[in-house]
Amino acid sequence: MKILVSDSLSKQGVELLEQAGSTVVVRSKMPKDELFKEIKDADGLIVRSGTKVTEELIAAAEKLKVVGRAGSGLDNVDTPAATRRGIVVMNTPGGNTVTTAEHTMSMICAMSRRIPQATTSVKAGKWEKDKFMGVELFNKVLGIVGVGQIGSHLTKLAQGIGMRVIAYDPYLAADRAEKMGVEIVGLPELFRRADIISVHTPLTPETKNLINAQSIGTMKPGVMIVNCARGGIIHEGDLHEALKSKRVAAAAFDVFEEEPVKADNPLLSLDNFICTPHIGAQTTEAQENVAVGIAEQIVDYFTKGIARGAVNIPSVSPELLPRLQPYLTLAEQLGKLQTQLCEGGLERVTVEYSGDVTNLSIAPLTIAVLKGLLTPIMEAPVNYVNAPIVAKERGIEVKEVKSTDAGDFTSLIRVRVEAGKRSHLVAGTLYHKKDPRVVEIDQFKVEMVPEGHLLFIHNIDRPGVIGMVGKVLGDNSINIVRMQCALEKRGGNALLIIGSDQAFPGEVLNTIKSSKDILSVKVAALS
């Protein structure tokens, strides 16, 4: 068994693989032609962030069965391409939680006391005590955007030095927040009240440029901003202008929109901006954790057939997987859709299985629902292993129900969530035993393909609404791939669903919302 390690990996992980009988080839920073040569006969590949596991590289791997990412981020792995080839993709999402939170706290301390600038000054032979007046963190308000694993640990660290923590996380249950000692607020309030803001969300269309000139204008004068999550969450050009004007007193980045960051990036010229080269997970302990973790997962996969930490398949037997896979896809898409349609912190999830699907193992399907629910809202990747743990940590109650009656369908999966004292339902089935369809959204009967960019418009059933929406989209060159309308009752409320192959810009949504016949507008992205 050949395992190719194409990025640096702690020796503990390599030793574990060798002890299991694998031939381990460790070669980091290989030229492209050498990498393609080595991958040809490799059974397993272990990478960190350096190697780009592209569709082209996957195609060249004739024997490859598993790709292991020592760490959480999978931006450098073409997971869909691997899935199409039947290659398992694994990661170790929890191995660097503490390290990244500690790095964020370190950046906050360094920024508030201007430690890097003072160090540079002293090393230049100066003694400029009056120049480096700092800011005390005790009793300051830390605003955390996204309270996942890293955000939760950062909360503990900040509270430990006497900071008050407020947070924005629309998917965090109120009782969970209360136990953490965190005040949950809306994003505008967080921007208005926080002395220091730290972002801990995934990079999605909704979070891209979340902090920009407009939002900065609502913040306290002299606010400080930290990004140790993903480049692109903060608009770098807008931040540069705010730092220049001192509207933002200081900022600290571990991540950039383009990495490695270019020397001519304007942020690097500012004295009130500090940064590190994406080293949030770079500690001895974290690297050992992820190395040992991914090595153990790969050994288990080859010796026991167990796919722990897999992001594209659950840990099920090879015999069952072909029958289960279409339902897994359906379940995950139902979960993704629910999260993007409902509002408020997730409190309870009930998954009801009806018809033929009850003859299969439903435990992986429930996990797939949780993975779908949590993926859009978590900074760290959610997979089939950690999804139940993450749900439990966030105080989400999970219930399964079986029923023999699937109504007009052979099989039916209903996902009901309770969030913000409201209940939301989506249901789906398989057409021709393989094609997922959403057939119910709350009180509306629908027939929707769960893929691409989707626009959900609740409106009053009146003539001209569909025409108005179509004109707005057409005027903005947005192609409609699919469209359907579902009625509650004639003259009552209606649900208009539009599918497109491109995202719906905010200004387009605002134009549609401005119509008196429109009750609500929501979008969902389903890959």
Same domain, 225 and 331: no
Q: What phi, psi does 498 have (nearest 5°)?
A: -125, 130
CATH number at residue 514: 3.30.70.260
Q: Do 158 and 40 belong to one domain?
A: no
Say yes or no: 423 and 523 in one domain: no
The amino acid that residue 343 corresponds to is E
Q: CA–CA distance from 410 to each of 176, 313, 452, 467 (Å)?
A: 38, 24, 26, 36
Q: What is the pLDDT of residues 432-451, one digit of tens each?
A: 888 999 999 999 999 999 99
Q: CATH number, domain at 12?
A: 3.40.50.720
State the total domains in the chain: 4
Residue 427 has pLDDT above 80, yes or no: yes
Considering Cα of 126, then 130, then 131, then 137, what sign does the dihedral take? positive
368 and 441 assigned to the same domain? yes
Q: In the sheet where 223-227 sits, what is the strand order?
A: 183-184, 164-168, 141-145, 196-199, 223-227, 248-253, 273-275
Does 318 have pLDDT greater than 60? no
* CA–CA gap between residue 175 and residue 496 (Å, rounded): 35
> Residue 256 pLDDT > 70, yes or no?
yes
Contact 341, 420 (CB under 8 A): no
Per the prediction, the chain carries an average pLDDT of 92
CATH code (residue 386):
3.30.1330.90
Structural domain range at position 513 = 451-527
Token pair recorded at residue 30: 């290989």
Average pLDDT over residues 143-151: 93
Token pair belonging to 52: 């780009």
Query: So what's the pLDDT on residue 323?
Result: 84
Q: Which residues contact 66 (CB under 8 A, 6 or more apart)?
A: 43, 44, 45, 87, 88, 89, 90, 298, 301, 302
pLDDT score of 93: 78
Does the reported pTM lie above 0.85? no
Annotated catalytic residues are 230, 259, 278
Average pLDDT over residues 472-480: 96
State pLDDT tens for residues 186-218: 999 999 999 999 999 988 888 999 999 999 999
Q: Looking at the structure, tell me whether residues 257 and 394 fall in a common domain.
A: no
pLDDT at 370 over 90: yes
